[in-house]
Amino acid sequence: MGHGLGDGEFEGRGDAPGITYATRCGIDEASSLLSEIAELHLRALAIRRSMIESEWQATQSVRKYLCAHSIAASRAALKERALKRAVRVSDGHQ
C-alpha cells in the first residue's frame, strides 16, 4: 500500500486528524490519571510513615517511662535491703 497514512489515521476516513487528536487527548488523560493515582499513593505512604514514626515515638516514651520507674523501684528495693542489713548488723545479727 502506497498510502501515506499517519499514526491514528484510518484509510478512507475524512476526520483522521481529529482521530489522531482524540487519541493524543486520551493518552494525555490516561497519563494525567496515572500521575494523580501515583500522587495519592505517595501521600498514603507518607501518612503511613508518619503514623509509624509517631507510634514508634509513643513506644519509646512508654519504654523510657517504664524503665525510669523500674530503676527507681530497684533503687528503693536496694536501699530498703541495705537499711535492713544495717539494722541487723547494728543489732548484732547478720
pTM: predicted TM-score of the whole model, two decimal places = 0.39
- What is the pLDDT, as a whole number, of residue 2? 47
User: Residues 6 or more apart from 10 whose CB is under 8 A from it?
Assistant: 16, 19
35 vs 28: CA distance, rounded Å: 10
| pLDDT confidence of residue 42 | 92
Q: What is the pLDDT along the chain (94 residues), one digit of tens a residue?
A: 445 555 554 455 555 565 676 677 778 788 888 889 999 999 999 988 888 888 889 888 888 888 888 888 888 888 888 888 888 878 766 5
